[in-house]
């Protein structure tokens, strides 16, 4: 079992990451990838700035990935999350899970996403025509944790 | 100890980090002290339901003890993903 967690400012190469993930693991029958993209909800978004807590981010993500590993049969887990400034359509983050069976890979990816949204120390700030504002956490993001 | 502030908490207080000596026993006691310092602290800590706290880089609770803690971080609910 291998966990890889990457926190970086620069863009990542989704194609290369997906291609290399669990490569050569002939015991894994299922790979799930999820990518989060900067969304322009109002049509006026210029940039999104993601702040994070450098000392805590890597540890928090590793903890979430380790918990996923304990719950499902996973061969590999990858989490990449960016911080800093990005524009609409840019990839913010990705997770990938590999398992013998797709059920485990799908569920583990959803679990990672649910926890990453409200337990990893990232904060989004949107800037556009109407000024800048911090993205508020949604109750449903917190509620999503209760299903696990 | 070091106090760290992120996102709008950082903006309201006007700094990302400061050194602070305290005898406060819990996070709640510390917040009470900070509120009494200046208006900008009172404003930042006016609604605890909009705040989260981490002690030495682990998410924690407001009633948690501060004994031995070196780094306290205050921030709004996280919005990763």
ipTM, two decimals = 0.95
pLDDT for A140 equals: 87
pLDDT digits (tens, 9 = 90+) for A49-65: 999 999 899 999 999 99
Q: Is A96 on the interface with B (CB under 8 A)?
A: no
Contact yes or no for B80 and A116 at CB 8 A:
yes
DSSP B77: P
Q: For chain A, which ranges sit under pLDDT 50?
A: none
pLDDT for B1 equals: 97
Within a domain: A40: yes
Say which CATH number the domain at A98 has.
3.90.1170.40
Q: For chain B, which ranges sit under pLDDT 70?
A: none
- Per the structure, the complete domain to which residue A44 belongs is given by 2-130
pLDDT for A7 equals: 98
Check: CATH 3.40.50.360 for B2-75?
no
Contact yes or no for B78 and A137 at CB 8 A:
yes
Torsions phi, psi for A108 (to 5 deg): -65, -40
Beta bridge partners of A123: A51
CA distance from start to end of chain B: 30
Q: Structurally, how many domains does chain A consist of? A: 1
Within a domain: A34: yes
Q: Is B71 on the interface with A (CB under 8 A)?
A: yes
Q: Would you list the domain boundaries of chain B? A: 2-75
Within a domain: A84: yes
pLDDT for A1 equals: 66
Q: Is A113 on the interface with B (CB under 8 A)?
A: yes
Other CB atoms within a 10 A radius of the CB of residue B8 amount to 17
Residue A109 distance to chain B (closest CA, Å): 12
Alpha-carbon torsion, ordered B7, B9, B14, B20, to 10 deg: -120
pTM of the model: 0.94
């Amino acid at each position: 079992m291998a966990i890889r967690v990457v926190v970086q400012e620069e863009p990542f190469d989704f194609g290369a990451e997906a291609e290399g993930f669990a490569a050569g693991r002939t015991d894994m029958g299922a790979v799930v990838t999820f990518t989060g993209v900067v969304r322009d909800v109002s049509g006026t978004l210029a940039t999104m700035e993601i702040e994070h807590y450098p000392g805590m981010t890597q540890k928090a993500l590793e903890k979430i990935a380790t918990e996923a590993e304990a719950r499902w049969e996973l061969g590999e887990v990858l989490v990449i999350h960016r911080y800093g400034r990005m524009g609409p359509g840019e990839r913010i983050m990705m997770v990938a899970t590999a398992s013998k069976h797709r059920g485990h890979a799908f569920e583990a990816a959803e679990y990672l996403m649910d926890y990453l949204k409200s337990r990893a120390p990232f904060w989004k700030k949107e800037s556009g025509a109407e000024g800048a504002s911090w993205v508020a956490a949604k109750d449903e993001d917190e509620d999503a944790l209760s299903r696990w | 100890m070091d106090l760290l502030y992120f996102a709008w908490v950082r903006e309201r207080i006007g700094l990302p980090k400061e050194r602070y000596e305290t005898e406060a026993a819990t996070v709640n006691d510390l917040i009470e002290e900070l509120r009494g310092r200046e208006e900008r602290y009172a404003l930042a800590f006016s609604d605890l339901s909009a705040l989260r706290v981490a002690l030495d880089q682990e998410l924690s609770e407001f009633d948690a003890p501060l004994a031995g803690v070196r780094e306290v971080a205050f921030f709004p609910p996280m919005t990763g993903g």
